[in-house]
Amino acid sequence: MSTALITGITGQDGAYLARLLLEKDYHVVGAFRRASMVSTARLDALGITDEVELVPFDLTDHGNMRRTIARAEPEEVYNLAAQSFVGVSFEQPVTTGEITGVGVVRLLEAIREENPRIKFYQASTSEMFGKAPAPQNEETPFYPRSPYAASKLYAHWTTVNYRESYGMHASSGILFNHESELRGVEFVTRKITHSVARIKHGLQNELKLGNLESKRDWGYAKEYVEAMWMMLQMPDPDDYVIATGETHSVRDFVEAAFEAAGLDWEKHVTTDPAFLRPAEVDVLLGDVSKAKNKLGWEPKTSFEDLVGLMVEADMRRAAFEAKHGRESAGIL
């Protein structure tokens, strides 16, 4: 039985990846940041909490990382942990850099010191492209537009450096936006579907958003974690863009979500300057040709179906809240 260590196990991608690896008979060690309360809600929703070995893990503590790796003895490490909110990174740029950027250096160094034969996956992001013209692929020059994107870019190039300098099997997935029923309400897509469901059930009346014209390449997170695993099964490490090859605006997402609920979005949506970023990323559109050709991976869920899945899940949650006067303990 192979062992995989997943950092950020309690997040959307961590939960889906954990389930995928468990289905492939891995022993999964899930690393989480210690806090007063640890939320396993996503793992609970997928029914896998008891199958995962949970361990506290801190991307600012090199010694903790090295001891965890020594105890777990993983064949594969998937680094999904980060300060992952673009908006927050403008308010907390130093913390974002420390965790999302420098934390990856500490982790790679811990792996190199303990066992450089461990295969490593780094969660890079399409936000690194920023202002670069679309479509974007593995050869497109990066142009980050936020402290989050700049931190991710540092981590990305560090991963390349460890691969080339030490011969480590270190790969990066440059994932474009990927959503699901497990997405946090801090992200605009889930904010939209969550609000749509609550409006439908009379729990709120208005949805405030920022730039409706920003365009993103949105896919289904459950499919994207399959690409992560595929990268580490390749004989040679490399970097891959994972995307759908289609772009839609925030306005498109709003229209699709409200339509799925049978509502007129223009009666409920307003724009609020408070939700605008100091520097905007206008268009992200991924060219997934390399992943299709080398990994044999391609997206299966359409934009409309993705929005529908998220709205359906939030409608169930909102129905529970309307009936019982409190939110459901379950996520799905």
CB 200 within 8 A of CB 263: yes
How many angstroms from the chain centroid is the CA of residue 197?
A: 23
Alpha-carbon gap, residue 306 to 34, rounded angstroms? 32
Active site residues: 125, 127, 148
Sign of the dihedral through C-alpha 180, 274, 266, 324: positive
The letter for the amino acid at 306 is L
DSSP for 188-203, please give it: HHHHHHHHHHHHHTTS
Whether 257 and 306 have beta carbons less than 8 Å apart is answered as no
Tokens of 120: 């490593």
For 264, the enclosing helix (H) or strand (E) is: none
Residue found by looking up tokens 């022993």 in the block: 27
- Bridge pairing between strands 53-56 and 76-79: unpaired
List all residues 6 or more positions away from 53 whose beta carbon is below 8 Å from its beta carbon.
27, 28, 29, 30, 72
Nearest to 273 by CA among 198, 197, 208, 221: 208
Number of H helices, E strands in the chain: 12, 13
Q: How many residues does the chain have?
A: 332
